[in-house]
Each structure stands twice: as C-alpha cells, then as structure tokens.
Amino acid sequence: MSPDGKSLLNIIVLGFGFMLMFTAFQTCGNVEQTVIKSYNSSEFHGSGYTSMAIIYGVFSASNLIAPSVVAVIGPQLSMFFSGLLYSGYIAMFIHPFTWSFYTASVLVGVAAAVLWTAQGNVLAINSKDSTIGRNSGIFWALLQFSLFFGNIYIYFAWHGKVHIADKDRQTVFITLTVISLIGSFLFFLIQRPEPEAPPSDASESLLPPENSEGSSTSVPVSVPHFALMCMLTEKALQLSITKEMLLLSLSIGYTGLELTFYSGVYGTSIGAMTQFGQDAKGLIGLSGIFIGIGEILGGGVFGMMNKCNRFGRNPVVLLGLFTHFLAFFLIFLNIANNAPCAPEEGTDLQGFIMPSVEVALFCSFLLGLGDSCFNTQLLSIIGFMYREDSAPAFAVFKFVQSITAAVAFFYSNFLLLHWQLLIMVFVGFVGTIAFFAAEWIVVARHRDSDYDSI
C-alpha cells in the first residue's frame, strides 16, 4: 500500500474507533440526566449536569499533561486505555452509586484529555498540507455517525415510555459498554505512518518510525521521559499565548458552550416538554439522530469534499453561525424557559408558540450542522498551522473547549433556557469575528505557500 493510502486507512480506522466509542458515550451523555431523574434509590443522589461539569473541568486541567502522556506511551496505547475508562463510566450506570458516579467522572476527564490529544496527533502526522482538510472531514463525519446510531437505539428502546425502569436502563447501558470496548480495541489497527523525513526534534512526532531491530519506541531514547514531558507542557503553554491561538480560543470556547447545549441540555429540555405527549422521552433519541444528520452532512460537505476551499474557511464558519442563530431563535419560541431544570414529570409551560415536534427536530438538525461547520474548520486551521507541534496545539484546543463546556454544564443546573441562549449568541458572534481575524493572519503569513490546495 502506498504511504498516502496507508495514511488514509489510518484516518478511517481512527474515525471508526471514535464512532463506536462515542456511539456509547454521547448517547450516555444525551440521556443520563433523564435516566437519573427516573432512578429511584436512597443510595444515589447525583446530577448528570454536575457529572459533565466535573468531566470537562478535569478534562481542561488534564490537557496540560496530556501531550506528555501521549509522548511517553504513544497514541495507540493512550487511546486504548482512555477508551477503557470511558467504558467504565458507561458501565457505572448499570447500577449507579453516588461515589462511583463522580469518581468515574473524574477519571473520564483525565482520559478525555489524553484521548483527544492522541487523536489530534494521529490526524496531523497522517496528513499533509494538501490532505488535512479532507482528513479532518472524514474523521468528523465518521465520528458524528455516533449520534445517529446510538440515538436510533434509544428512540426504539424508549419509544412511548414515560418512566425509564431499571431493566430498561440496564439493557441500554450494558449494550453501550460493549460497543465502547469494541471501539477501544480498534485503535490497535492503526499502522505507523511512513515519515517524509527523519524528525529533527523530539516533539516532532509522537509516532516515531520503527528502529533498525524491527521494534518501536514511544519516545527518542536520547530524551528522558520527564524532560520530554516538561518540554511538551512548556510548548503547549507557549502556543496558548500566541496571537493566532488566542484568537482561535474565542471560537473554540464557543464550541464548548454549544457542545454542552446540544449534547445534554437540549435533549433534556425536549424530554421535559409534556406538550409533546407520552413519547417525549423517545424524542430525546430522535433529536440526537437529527443532530447527527446535521453533523455528518456538514463534515462531508465542508470537510471531505472541500467545496469551499477556494474561498477559505471563513464562509463555512459564517454559515455555522447563521444556522446556530436560526436554531436558537426557533428554540426560544418553541421550548419552555424552565425546561432544562424541570423535574421528572416535566413542565406544562410552553414557549411563545404552540410547541412543535417538527420545529424541535429541525432545530436539532441546525445545531448539528452549525457545530460541524465550526469544528471542521477549527481542526483544519489548527492542523495546518501547527502540524509540527500537533499534540500541544490540540491539547490547547481541547483545554479551552472543555473548560467552557464545564462552565456551561455547571450553570445548566440552575440557569433558565433563555439566559443560556443569550450567552451562546454573544459568545458565538465574538468567536466568529475572532476566527475571521485568525484566518486572515494565516492567509497573509502563507500567501506564498501552496495555501489554496489545503
């Protein structure tokens, strides 16, 4: 197989591994607040929003050490062991306890930082300037199939149910745990890419070439592990204060806020609307399906097919902002203000129009489409600018995204829907302007390079 073919195969395997893992985890996150409300036990007193706030808070802090962990044990083992911790978090819902719930949340936060840093490294070292956009789109589209498959299962499993019984919960989470474990083992199928040239720096690649004896090593033997860890952590801190990364951090922060909204708050809000009838719980899964359709469509059109590259990345990001603002306006009209914080029996209040299932699902599609517009372009621009420092750069990306997601999950416990929408409108507008500025800097800096072929 040619080097380009091997690299493309690696990206596809990476995408399928993440697709299976996040079929389990994103489905879990989408329904866990609803499941917890239906779980009657004197031994359990937890909140799905609080759990997610812990996960993303620990995730953000762990991104400072994640590049070092990936450098020491390698991307494959990093993703595999992280996948095991994700599977443990999902399995905890089979019979949850408060202590195990929050302990697993902390462990998944650490695992997430390592997992996504390793993913960014594998994506970057298997891409060239001419293929980073395509590869980002392929990975993103495959990843977002997780929303499609997982929520189809939830929709049919909970169709017509008002209360989620223990047996229903256990069946769902045993299935999701098995799916997550299969995805974790897929990472061992990723092959070592053939380097274009021998690396001149220890941080240049976290997947080094095989040595002359046919074995491999995770780090150069001339660099002590502790020194390498310090070097990569320092590099991440240096990148975080560059002009381009500071500008992009505003856009990245917005993706953290809307990640919280579409992956937890919106589904819970739909499930709490009693005007949607007895199938409101099943609509949580259907909403996730439409989010997934939007994500897949956006990843395929704007990433894999590269239709807009002649105009740069800005038009795609602008489209993402427009679709999100349209979704926020329709949600403002269609969903009750107290829906995110409603008890298990739901809310009898309504928005400014008669609640419509069709409008709610259309908003789910718009949320997914807009999210894919932002994320594919952020992956593309960061992979292009920092290909030689991919692990620290993607660690900064996930640090900013996860800390804003943690803040959003925290305030979702008490902040009403309209205030959450207002925050996202403001941050989304500022983040889009900042992305435009970062893109213009990149264009000016690389005007003499083969920029148009990205």
pLDDT tens digits, residue range 124-155?
Answer: 888 877 777 778 778 877 887 887 787 888 77
Residue ranges in 188-242 assigned as alpha helix (H): 225-240
Torsion of the alpha carbons at 65, 67, 71 and 72, rounded to the nearest 10: 20
In a 3-state reduction of DSSP, which class is residue 391? helix
- Mean pLDDT value of segment 295-314: 67
Q: For residue range 45-58, list pLDDT tens digits in order.
A: 788 888 888 998 99
Residue 437 dihedral angles phi and psi, to the nearest 5°: -65, -45
Residue among 415, 446, 431 nearest 375 (CA): 431
Q: For residue range 243-262, list pLDDT tens digits in order.
A: 888 999 999 999 999 999 98
Token pair of 420, please? Answer: 């959450």
Q: 216 pLDDT exceeds 50?
A: no
- Mean pLDDT value of segment 265-293: 80
Token pair of 241, please? Answer: 């204060």
According to the model, what pLDDT value does residue 211 have? 41
Residue 415 dihedral angles phi and psi, to the nearest 5°: -85, 130
Question: Distance (Å, rounded) from C-alpha 263 to C-alpha 215?
Answer: 42
The pTM (predicted TM-score) of the whole model is: 0.75
Name the β-bridge partners of 378.
Answer: none
132 or 399: whose pLDDT is higher?
399
- Mean pLDDT value of segment 215-223: 39
Q: 190 pLDDT exceeds 70?
A: yes
Q: At what angle do helices 75-91 and 98-125 cross, to 10 degrees?
A: 150
